[in-house]
Amino acid sequence: MGKRSSCLSSLLVSLVLLFGARVVVAAKINTLPTNSPCSKIPESSYPKTFLSNGTVDAVVYLPDQENGSYRSSRFDWSGIVACASYNGHTYFGEWSNHTDPMGNDTVTGPAEEFRRSNSEIGYDEAKPGQPFLKVGVGLLKRIDDQPYKFGTVYPIVDHGKWKVRVSKRSVTFTQVLRSSIGYSYLYEKKLILDAKEPVMRLEHSLKNFGTNSIITDVYDHDFFVLDRARTGPGMVVTLGFEPKTAPPFPDNLVSMSGNEIVFKDSPKRGYSAQGYLTGYASKRGEYLIHVENRNKHVGILQTSDSPLSKFYFWSTPETICPEAYIPIDVAPGKAQKWTISYKFEGEKQ
């Protein structure tokens, strides 16, 4: 079996070199057992792998420029979770009523986006038709003289080269991008299920081997869907700081008290609450987000070893999205590492 696996791996590499494929999968893809709560994801045809530590199951979509679940220009293509389950509960999943791999935000959590305030890396310097950078996506083409709009789908002119390595409890994504505009990098993200605890970690590393510094922010647009329940009473978000917002959230839908954001009613249409939050001091330890449905006794605790640079809160009747931004500043020849952890909570069903 060892010689056969080696031959198959060599054949795969040869095919990649011959046909120019951009994603190399360096291990066998784990198949999804039928008895897992994640076995009935709506979109099952996309390239994916299954991870498990015995108590937590996760279905993770794999980047693929031809057939991937997400192929648009906003979010990092790696680490997109179709479903995560613990004790019969689920935490991520489809929140939109339609799927479109080229859509701006038809993606499941924890979708990550690298975004510089009001623009993107190299966008202001680029002329229409010239490239700019989106880490985790690649080189995009500026299409007009208008300011950058995160909701616009920009053409991807270079995806970089992706490599995926899969094991029983983890999947590692590596993207190498080289450009002629001064931005080149090695980006690695490892999604790991802890060996003993109901915890999923995202371990990141960004190494800059270009001539320009990579300065931006990154956040997880989590798209939490706890047990596929609609947003409403009993749902509470607790933060590692006392949040303030202007203008205030609609009083009939959301209240803020101390460190808590409490949903008081189920929105019928539109957004239930959205806006930038302040109140943090950009110190380590403030990156703490606890989302729970107290009526269903299910929750998820999100933490990081990094300070906050910005915080935005967005929610709809289908999903809750606390967006905690982490500052990224990588000089040429340097690297930056950061980790985000998710602890799953829920009584056994």
User: At residue 260, what is the residue type?
Assistant: E
3-state secondary structure of 228: helix
Q: pLDDT tens for residues 324-339?
A: 999 999 999 999 999 9
Which residue, among 221, 213, 269, 273, has the nearest Cα to 243 in the 3D structure? Answer: 273
Report CA Rg, the chain: 20
Show the CA angle centred on residue 333, arms to residues 327 and 334, nearest 5°. 35
Q: Are 168 and 193 in contact (CB under 8 A)?
A: no
Low-confidence ranges of the chain (pLDDT < 50): 1-21
Which residue, among 100, 96, 121, 97, has the nearest Cα to 109 in the 3D structure? Answer: 96
What pLDDT is recorded for position 2? 42
Dihedral class, residue 118 (left if φ above 0, else alpha if ψ from -120 to 50, else beta): left
Task: Find where tokens 């076995």 sit.
Answer: 39
Dihedral class, residue 14 (left if φ above 0, else alpha if ψ from -120 to 50, else beta): alpha
What pLDDT is recorded for position 184? 98
- What is the distance between the alpha carbons of residues 120 and 301, in angstroms, rounded to a whole number? 30
Contacts of 337 (CB under 8 A, 6+ apart): 203, 204, 205, 206
As beta bridge partners, residue 163 has: 24, 174
Provide the whole-model pTM. Answer: 0.91
φ/ψ of residue 126, rounded to 5: -80, 145
What pLDDT is recorded for position 15? 36
Strands (E), 126-198: 131-134, 138-141, 156-158, 161-166, 170-177, 185-193
Query: Could you give the residue ranges of the DSSP H alpha helices within the chain?
Result: 2-19
Q: Are 126 and 135 in contact (CB under 8 A)?
A: no
φ/ψ of residue 13, rounded to 5: -60, -40
Tell me which H or E stretch contains 274: strand 273-278
Eight-state DSSP code of residue 227:
G
Q: Parallel, antiparallel, or unpaired for β 235-239 and 244-245?
A: unpaired
Residue length of the chain: 349
Q: Parallel, antiparallel, or unpaired for β 161-166 and 23-25?
A: parallel
Q: Are 287 and 301 in contact (CB under 8 A)?
A: no
